[in-house]
A = this chain, B = another copy of it.
Amino acid sequence: MKEFNLLVGGPVMQLPTDLLTTKKAACWGGADRGALRLVKAGITPQLAIGDFDSSTAAERELIFKNSQRVETAKAEKDDTDTELAVRVILRDYRPDQLKIYGATGGRIDHLLANLFFILQPEFYPALDRITLIDRQNNISFFKPGTYLLQKQPDKKYLAFVPLTKVTQLVLYDEKYRLAGKDFSQPISLASNEFVGTTAKFSFTSGVVCVIQSSD
């Protein structure tokens, strides 16, 4: 499967404008309140997953009736709804791309959980297939290697964010370049920019998150 979209329960106002109308025909999964939002937008999720504890009986019925598949799994104490959903999606649908919406805004412990879970051994192998997307930000994740990023037309800023100890980060052709720097702990190298329409970077160990954003 090429692309799977997952809607989790973050604030609606952080979602890209008209997301649920422009991507109505896409392949969707919804975690908990995210599933309710999909169904209310007239989308039939391939998967609705969560404990649905925060939904009323009527809302649960709406979700159950209008989803291809429902998993009423309860998130383990150490799992978030996002992790639960991503686990099932990676295992059962094997998408090339998993785009997660609704993962930002509101509670920052949630945002950080949605950002850091890809570091866990269970999710690490798939991290380069996972993207978090909201109204202003596109967040992707990289294992050691050399990459050529494509500028997104609606985004101005480019940030490189080592999430772990990272060695030999080289920024070849960005507005602010880097010749090969080591970082011993997380840091956000914010407000960089593309010079042209692509940006080349490389590093030799750790995990780097790349954020394209607009004001």
Contact = CB atoms under 8 A, between A and B. Distances in A.
A108 B104 contact: yes
A107 B137 contact: yes
B157 A190 contact: no
Interface stretch (A66-74, A84-92, A159-167): A159-167
A19 interface: no
A119 B159 CA distance: 18
A213 interface: yes
A108 B185 contact: no
A213 B78 CA distance: 18
Contacts of A78: 189
Number of copies of this kind of chain in the complex: 2
5 contacts: A77-B176, A80-B191, A108-B137, A109-B137, A110-B188
A210 B213 CA distance: 27
A187 interface: yes
A211 interface: yes
A213 B11 CA distance: 15
Contact of A116 (B77, B117, B187): B187
Contacts of A77: 176
Nearest to A191: B109
Contacts of A186: 112, 116, 119, 163-164, 186
A215 interface: yes
B211 A108 contact: yes
A199 interface: no
A136 interface: yes
